Structure 1
């Protein structure tokens, strides 16, 4: 039979309330009594349930995290940044994805109703914004990571997408590339619009406005990057650079260029965005805009945990800088 708090109280000769106080550090207790209770706990091997401790403390010591999918290449780095902070502070992490659409969201809602976590970190899955807003307005602390839709109602941690796009453009202009194409992500994402605007503005200011037909709508996947660039090559269009708005689609673009017999970077230079581990091991190694992904997860988790300790959630986004990492896809190896 499992050991219960009543067993501990009986063996220690105290009440269950006293045992609970020892477990949760609440109330003044005689030092000898507290020591005796801890000794009995150790001897009996009693392990209090997380739910019971959470109720006694007024919190679960668990952080919830809602993400679209674990298949996104950069999710793992953000998640590691979150885990590093959460575990160091003695919290657990309850991770939810939206892989199964409405079914996933229903299961998440059940955990919300059960008050299974104290606060929520969110990389916004498509179609969940209204629900997350309701939770936040109802009192659940929420912090967005990579605020793709620019939602000022939420505290958030973001990165400099616009200046990241601009840095990619400046680099290509310095290399003499005057006819770039851009492979975007989904149009509804704020980061997509920011990266495109930063890139296009730099080219316009340099006297080389970006033609609309050189903006290729993508979806941040390898296959879309490959097919978008492949179709452009088949059309006979002339271009000397590709700026793909994430590393996965940039890798697809690299393959399409190689399949067409083009040399990288001699014929076409390629720049990505994110700097996931894949980028350094592409062929050729991919020049990319580095996002501080692990640091974003770290900052968001610290923001939420600080709130649990009484620090108000900030009203302005915490913005971490990007920077360009130059590799062989734009740098000649000769």
Structure 2
């Protein structure tokens, strides 16, 4: 088995001190440009790869941030991951990602696992946590930012998100102003965000003296296929339904496609709305009425704030409710 190239090997190859090589790699501004270039060339020729674990032990910092998402399969979080990764790359941090499987205990396991790797901070995409998760993060004294939902008081250092209740109430009110009277709500598992949207739907209907019993919950993961099956079940159980509020855009899009197969005119015979405004929402036919959430902005804010806290910089905002936007299109 070939021995891994070390700083000592690079130094011997160039005939210079090991400390000089180390200084050039870790603090390049402290050596001449000519020497730095010679060392870089030697590192490439000898296939030298820095030992991150050793640097972590020496500096007590791994330059690593952990992003915990509820699911790798949810399209909403694919965008979050992409933006956070780009921001981390720009700021010189490694991104580690964990899947909490939509449970508080799943999040707890992810946090426990990454704490053993000497990471520098967490971005959590949930705002409800187990007591042990809070205890572990507090004991480790690690900077942590929550995103997605806005809450009055962050559990950790900062929070950037949308008021889920206000957004869902806005969407429900819009359907009512269009004259829809039999509005159903469809969800998969009821995580915190889904529960808040459902609660807003219920409260808004009841405020207008309307019935809120048309709630349909599937046991499958969120997908076009799931939405396709859900709309068939909803219209079979409540044929008088004139609008359906889907908990996300994926299911709403699947429902639209199923309606087209049965010649149900979406936007006329039946209104369909979603939530999040994913890329496809504005291009499917008919285009989807939905709530646009500022996922890119919250992800960028989270990374910048977290890195500022890690590096001891002054932080201008530790909590911010970001605005949502009602995107009115042909589906409603």
Say whether the fold is shared (TM-score over 0.5): yes
Q: In the alignment, is residue 213 of structure 1 matched against residue 216 of structure 2?
A: no
Task: Give me the whole-angstrom Cα distance separating, in 1, the residues matched to 2:43 and 2:205.
Answer: 71
TM-score by length of 2: 0.80
| Match of residue 170, structure 2, among 157, 163, 167 | 167
Question: Could you tell which deviates more after superposition, 72-81 or 224-233?
Answer: 224-233
The 1:296/1:129 distance shift into structure 2, 3 A limit, reads: farther
CA RMSD of aligned residues (A): 3.6
Q: Write the deviation string for residues 89-134 of structure 1: whole angstroms up to 9, x where unpaired.
A: 11121222356x999986874443132x2112223499x7445323
Residue 177 to residue 111, structure 1, CA distance change in 2 (3 Å): closer
Aligned twin of 2:39? 40
Please, what TM-score do these two structures have when normalized by structure 1? 0.80
| More off after superposition, 55-64 vs 149-158 | 149-158
Alignment partner for residue 146 of structure 1, among 145, 148, 153?
148
The alpha carbon displacement at 1:204 in A equals: 4.2
Per chain length, whose mean CA-contact separation is higher, i.e. which structure has more relative contact order (CA < 8 Å, sep 6+)?
Answer: 1
In structure 2, what is the Cα distance between the partners aligned to 1:184 and 1:314? 37
Residues 36/314 of structure 1: CA separation in 2 closer, same or farther (3 Å cut): closer
Counterpart check, 1:296 vs 2:290: no
Distance 2:12 2:180 in 1: 80
Q: Does 1:132 align with 2:133?
A: yes
Between 317-326 and 44-53, the greater mean CA deviation after superposition: 44-53
Contact 1:12 1:36 in 2 (8 A): no
Structure 1 regions of 5+ residues with no counterpart? none
Task: Give the drift of 1:192.
Answer: 2.3
Q: 1:21 to 1:55 in 2, by over 3 A?
A: farther
Q: State whether residues 254 and 270 of structure 1, in contact with CA within 8 Å, keep that contact through their aligned partners in structure 2.
A: yes
Structure 2 stretches of 5 or more lacking a match? none
- How many angstroms apart in 2 are the aligned matches of 1:198 and 1:251? 22
- Equivalent in the alignment of 1:193: 195
Q: Per-residue deviation at 1:224?
A: 4.5
Q: 1:280 to 1:221 in 2, by over 3 A?
A: same
Alpha-carbon separation, structure 1, partners of 2:146 and 2:107: 19
Counterpart check, 1:53 vs 2:45: no
| Alignment match, 2:117 | 114
Deviation of 1:21 (Å): 3.5
The Cα of 1:272 is off from its aligned counterpart by 0.6
Paired residue total: 322
Q: How far off its partner does 1:181 sit?
A: 1.4
Contact 2:112 2:136 in 1 (8 A): no
The answer to whether the 8 A contact 1:163-1:322 is kept is: no
Is residue 177 from structure 1 mapped to residue 180 from structure 2 by the alignment?
A: yes
Structure 2 counterpart of 1:279: 281
Matched, 1:89 2:88: no
Asked if 2 retains the 8 angstrom alpha-carbon contact of 1:80 and 1:294, the reply is: no
Cα distance in 2 between the residues matched to 1:233 and 1:297: 38
How many angstroms apart in 2 are the aligned matches of 1:239 and 1:270?
11
1:10: how far off?
4.2
- After superposition, what is the alpha-carbon deviation per residue over 1:10-36, rounded to whole angstroms, capped at 9, x for unaligned? 45666544543443239x96x56x964
